[in-house]
Amino acid sequence: MKRLRKNKLLIVGKKPFNEKNKSRMGGVVVHVMRLIEWLGEQGFDYQFYDLSRFRFFSFVRSISNSEVAHLHSSSPYFRLLFAIVCKITNTQSICTYHGDLGRFGKVKNCCDELSIRYVDYPIVLNSRSLSISLSINPKAILLSAYIPPRNKEELDIELKEKISMLRNKYHILLATNAYAMGYDKNGGEIYGIKELVSIVESLPEIGLIISDPSGDYSLFYRDQLPKNIQLITEPHPFVGVLSYVDAFIRNTSTDGDSISIHEALDMGVPVIATDVVDRPKGCTLVGKGNEAMLIKALLAIKPKVGTRSNGQEKENVEIFNFYKENIFN
């Protein structure tokens, strides 16, 4: 029997369930979508395995039929399963650890340590995670997860009007986002939305837009938000919101390599971010939970002048260069 030719590269991750949900996705899904769009445009030999349709035997078969497999998942359990299957099938493995290593409890952190040991190329997103991973696997590397959007992403007319009305009411307009209302291993709210709402409520000259695709915060506040704060729960590209605001706030207790921060910086939007992980050059850093420091940074924001760009196209994206040097060479 003639043996089938193996695929060069298998991307393992999740796609949105349908086009309507395309804007209701977190940073990992955005990264995966932009990655496979780029691979398709460049005509590279790759296949995609959608984890939202996971079946164990189809998963194993897809990996065994590939020379290289690259996983994008936030689950330590799945990262370990992936590493083991790749070892058994003799498939070269790459795993991007989206998020900060060590942020889980003992069992999940142990799973991550084991998967890092078994994976050929563990990719991490900040220097602290790199230090941890290099002590386990000397082939660990630090790469940014940011891939610029290939096409212009705009808001619909109704949402533009809603944001424009808010823009005209306040001297300074801020934006923040949260994929869902989640909590870290210490019980702290990951995205720091509640803290930010409390602070902005005391600053009536400042408006705040919260991009909340999950609807979690809408359910939590139940129309009890201050008048200078607006939740957006309908599907929308966050880069469209950034074009209206004076600054983007990333008030997280843990993080990976935030796509939203890179998008804001690309568009010339000032960024205020907690110093819980490495941040890109150009961010104003504040201590997590340091309310006085955050208020001082908010009050230092200047109104934007002119219009924002829609972001810059980048030819020198780190993950693409890694593929060209290690897979498609």
Domain 7-148+315-326: CATH superfamily, name plus number: Glycogen Phosphorylase B; (3.40.50.2000)
Q: What are phi and psi of 4, to 5 degrees?
A: -70, 145
Give the pLDDT score at 265.
Answer: 93
Rounded to an integer, what distance in angstroms lies between the CA atom of residue 93 and that of residue 117? 11
Give the pLDDT score at 193.
Answer: 96
Q: What are phi and psi of 262, to 5 degrees?
A: -65, -40
How do residues 32-46 score in pLDDT, each as one tens digit?
A: 998 998 898 888 889
Rounded to an integer, what distance in angstroms lies between the CA atom of residue 271 and that of residue 305? 16
**List of residues 6+ apart from 2 with CB closer than 8 A:** none
Judge contact between 120 and 274, C-beta under 8 A: no
Give the pLDDT score at 294.
Answer: 97
Q: Tell me the CATH number of domain 157-299, given options 3.10.129.10, 3.40.50.1580, 3.30.2020.10, 3.40.50.2000.
A: 3.40.50.2000
Indicate the burial class of 181 (C-beta count within 10 angstroms; 0-12, 13-18, 19 or more): middle
**7-148+315-326 matches 157-299 in fold:** yes
How do residues 177-214 score in pLDDT, each as one tens digit?
A: 998 898 988 899 999 999 999 999 999 999 999 999 88
Q: Which SS3 state, helix, strand or coil, does residue 221 take? A: helix
- Token match 């990719």: residue? 123
Q: What are phi and psi of 291, to 5 degrees?
A: -60, -40
Write out residues in the chain with pLDDT < 70, as ranges. Answer: 1-5, 17-25, 306-316
**List of residues 6+ apart from 161 with CB closer than 8 A:** none
**List of residues 6+ apart from 223 with CB closer than 8 A:** none
For the chain, give every domain's residue range.
7-148+315-326, 157-299
Give the pLDDT score at 5.
Answer: 59
Tokens standing for 140? Answer: 């660990």
Give the pLDDT score at 27.
Answer: 79
Rounded to an integer, what distance in angstroms lies between the CA atom of residue 148 and that of residue 311? 8
- Would you list the DSSP string of 43-109? T--EEEEEGGG--HHHHHHHHHTEEEEEEE-S-HHHHHHHHHHHHHHT-EEEEE--S-TT-S-HHHH
Q: State the Cα torsion 221-224-226-230 to the nearest 10°.
A: 60
Give the pLDDT score at 63.
Answer: 97
Judge contact between 59 and 1, C-beta under 8 A: no
Give the pLDDT score at 4.
Answer: 56
Q: Which SS3 state, helix, strand or coil, does residue 303 take? A: coil
Closest by Cα among 34, 68, 32, 24 to 51: 32
